[in-house]
Amino acid sequence: MQIRTPTRYIDHPADVAFAARALADGVVVAVAFANFYALVARPDEECVRRLNLAKGRPADQVGSVTVAAYRTPSIFDWSRISPRLPERRVRALMEILYGAGPFGFRGPAADRLPDHLTRHDREIRTAQVIAPGALCPSNAFLERAAAEAGVDHLAITSANRSRHLTGVDEEPAHWKADGIAADFAHLPDLVLLAHRDEPAARAAYPAYLPNSVTLLSFHRPEGEREEPPVLIVDRHGSLHVDQVRRAAAPLGLQVRLGATAGQRLPVRAYDGALV
């Protein structure tokens, strides 16, 4: 199947402007995101419900937040992090990891975030932020779309049909635009903002698998007081945990896999297509 026409590209300013206006009007946008694709929408409850239903998952499932990479710290309430975890170290880790590529962080949510984009871990209200990395052209789209919608953050999810719909244990994200067009043909107003050269986009991130990002949680650091704080990988995705550990170690931070991250996320396979 070919991408629906007219084809729109993430590196074309007029296409970015069109997609940003469409998102502000309530349309779901499938956007080139580092070396794969993501679905992005306005962050209001109605649009997040529509995004969930489009994927075939529960309408009230909590969504994730996205912003341009450099805005990631603005989504968190830094007054609520553990006193064992210096803010400057976490911010430095964000800068290092987003300087290299796409990544996700989960931490204490800023008060302004709506409930449908946050979840509680015991007494801590948290937000999950997925950002594309500093060099990705999707940053310009995220900035433009947020401005058009009059908000400072957007809702994001992986570009796939939900496992609730397909019945498989794990439904990998798409890294080919044609696959998204096929899976979401039921959304007549979907805007697809594609990589101009998908092999080149994947080659630009040799350390990353083309799938959903690795997610690091910092709202509840583990370890004894005399030991370096331990941050938890909630999802082992595109960036290998060893790379995360190498980035964290010089900052005096340790990283370990959480209970839900024992198995790394799979990469979507297409007939006749190799990563």
Contact 233, 261 (CB under 8 A): yes
* CA proximity to 73, closest of 102, 94, 56: 94
pLDDT value of residue 205: 97
Q: Give the C-alpha distances (Å, rounded to integers) separating 84 from 51, 63, 80, 156.
A: 37, 29, 11, 31
pLDDT value of residue 271: 80
pLDDT value of residue 227: 83
Does residue 275 surpass a pLDDT of 70?
no
Between 170 and 123, name the one with better pLDDT. 123
Cis before 6 (ω within 30): yes
Q: Give the C-alpha distances (Å, rounded to integers) separating 174 from 16, 30, 38, 157.
A: 20, 10, 8, 11
Does residue 168 surpass a pLDDT of 70?
no
Does residue 74 surpass a pLDDT of 60?
yes
Cβ neighbours of 241 (radius 10 Å): 17
Average confidence (pLDDT) over 29-43:
98
Between 166 and 154, name the one with better pLDDT. 154
Residue labelled with tokens 């306005």:
42
Average confidence (pLDDT) over 246-269:
96
Residue 7 pLDDT class (50, 70, 90 cuts): confident
Residue labelled with tokens 């900035």:
143
Residue 1 pLDDT class (50, 70, 90 cuts): very low
Does residue 270 surpass a pLDDT of 70?
yes
pLDDT value of residue 223: 79
Between CA 16 and CA 121 the distance in angstroms is 36
β 103-108/124-131 pair status: antiparallel
pLDDT value of residue 162: 79
Q: What is the CATH number of domain 8-257?
A: 3.90.870.10
Whole-number mean pLDDT of the chain? 93
Between CA 212 and CA 16 the distance in angstroms is 22
What are the tens digits of pLDDT across the range 76-94? 999 999 998 999 999 999 9
Between CA 136 and CA 100 the distance in angstroms is 10
pLDDT value of residue 171: 83
Average confidence (pLDDT) over 236-244:
98
pLDDT value of residue 272: 60
When mean pLDDT is compared across 18-27, 54-63, 130-139, 225-234, the lowest value belongs to: 225-234
Average confidence (pLDDT) over 54-79:
96
The domain limits of the chain are 8-257
